[in-house]
A and B are shown apart, each in its own frame.
Chain A
């Protein structure tokens, strides 16, 4: 393992220390660990908090700032953060309008954020948890933990962050976040494994001439392995998995003010005439130039399928350590979503 680290046990802490030095507009706290806007809490504004395992930078810490997240809770590498972090962060950023937890659908993240919501609500703070579950590589929700939260998370943090900045209350932020999640779909492809610092070796073995289709963002396996193919073939496959994905139904749990309530949600498939934001993401080890080769094919497939790309985002935004590979996210937009996508944002990881 070759990595720019000191002691493996201090990887996350030392990276956060560097981030705090580089970005005085953020406050970084330890014991428990979280980041927040230095100007938090902002009175009367809904506070957006996300979090998850580290190793996906710039998500989430790099998206803390004006027009996006108020706070983020980094866990150990690829390990969900803990409820005490989330509660401390929520209390630091709540400006009286409540806290929206944006949660990627992984068993650990979901359970920790549910405990946090219970604790935050017990302290009299309004709270809601909205799940992001957009990875179409996971076909069914009945026999799995459901679709994983991947690329749509970045877009949701941007869009809902702008809505909160514009004065949306907690319910409207939650509704918008749920809508963005239901309008977004993603698919990832890995060319190599990633190496978790504490493990010291690649998470899985992938042959020199193989790719893993439908990869998650923690090196968890995809749907199948294929021989390496030209980018046109790989990008087309990913794009078609997303665009041809049928309706998807699952049950999510949301906080009803006193307890957890099951909610059945169905995401409708894309349709000809839809306008979309196209997001081509690097898994960390793939250079940006190659992402443009992916985008070239994606644009052609979208045109064939009758989708109009109205905005794009290209670069490493939700990574998987040093993994080579890419993911595509398509998000159907309406005027509300587009307006907040276009709103200003000023964070270490995304500026406009």
Chain B
């Protein structure tokens, strides 16, 4: 996985968040506070502003810049969570110009660990962690198979899609959705949805 693909990934992600802004906000209106699409779009617009300054730096610098930018522009719960994800992910691949499958696993694992430390989610709380936990597990299982990053991501995308759909019947126990109690059942989690787009766009960028 080369740096150019990471830059392409980030641009695609910006596009997707812009396209899905209303959809994400509607998902959030159903069980949260109706700002997730607005926040992600604002955050990635800032990332796109910052990207030219670091596009010629190493991968870790790019990822850390994404993290710092999201942390200081998204707000809400997703700001610290995604900010921490990209920041920790970047720190895990310090000095790299390209990522092997092992590097990629290390990056995702460190990022998800950051989400876990910051938000302290439990599996089944109906959060983005319910998408990332099975994705990390699937990545770990496959990482030793000799797949390159593209094959790895393509292989785990169905796992992510299933994990996303699996958030629908869950009752939220974290975030504003938790105040709905049983009324949160039957809605797809907005944070898990924006996380799914990260993997979907990565798959496109690597194709």
Hey, which bits of chain A sit against chain B, CB under 8 A?
Answer: 32, 53, 75-85, 106-108, 111-112, 114-115, 138, 143-145, 148, 196, 198-199, 203-204, 216, 218-221
Does B175 touch A at the CB level, under 8 Å? yes
Q: Given that A107-B119, A111-B118, A111-B119 are contacting pairs, would A80 and B180 also be in contact in the complex, using a CB cutoff of 8 Å?
A: no
Q: Given that A145-B174, A199-B29 are contacting pairs, would A82 and B183 also be in contact in the complex, using a CB cutoff of 8 Å?
A: no
The CA-CA distance from A84 to B80 in the complex, in Å, is 11
Q: Given that A108-B75, A111-B81, A115-B80 are contacting pairs, would A220 and B33 also be in contact in the complex, using a CB cutoff of 8 Å?
A: yes
Contact yes or no, A112 B75, CB < 8 A? yes
DSSP class of B's interface residues: helix, strand, loop or mixed?
Answer: helix
DSSP class of A's interface residues: helix, strand, loop or mixed?
Answer: loop
Q: Given that A145-B179, A199-B38 are contacting pairs, would A111 and B75 also be in contact in the complex, using a CB cutoff of 8 Å?
A: no
Interface size class of chain B, counting residues whose CB lies under 8 Å from the partner chain: 20 to 34
Contact yes or no, A143 B173, CB < 8 A? yes
Hey, which bits of chain B sit against chain A, CB under 8 A?
Answer: 25, 29, 32-35, 38-39, 42, 71-81, 118-119, 171, 173-176, 178-181, 183
Which residues of B are found within 8 Å of A198, using beta-carbon distances? 35, 38
Contact yes or no, A83 B35, CB < 8 A? no
Q: What is the chain B residue whose CB lies nearest that of A85?
A: B72
Which residues of A are found within 8 Å of B171, using beta-carbon distances? 143
Contact yes or no, A108 B25, CB < 8 A? no
Contact yes or no, A144 B173, CB < 8 A? yes
Contact yes or no, B77 A83, CB < 8 A? no
Chain B CB within 10 Å, residue with most, of A78, A81, A204: A78
The CA-CA distance from A106 to B35 in the complex, in Å, is 14
Contact yes or no, B175 A79, CB < 8 A? no
Contact of A82 among B35, B79, B176, B179 (CB under 8 A): B79
Q: What is the chain B residue whose CB lies nearest that of A216?
A: B179
Beyond contacts A79-B75, A82-B71, A145-B176: 6 other A-B pairs, Cβ-Cβ < 8 A, are: A76-B75, A77-B35, A106-B176, A107-B176, A108-B79, A220-B176
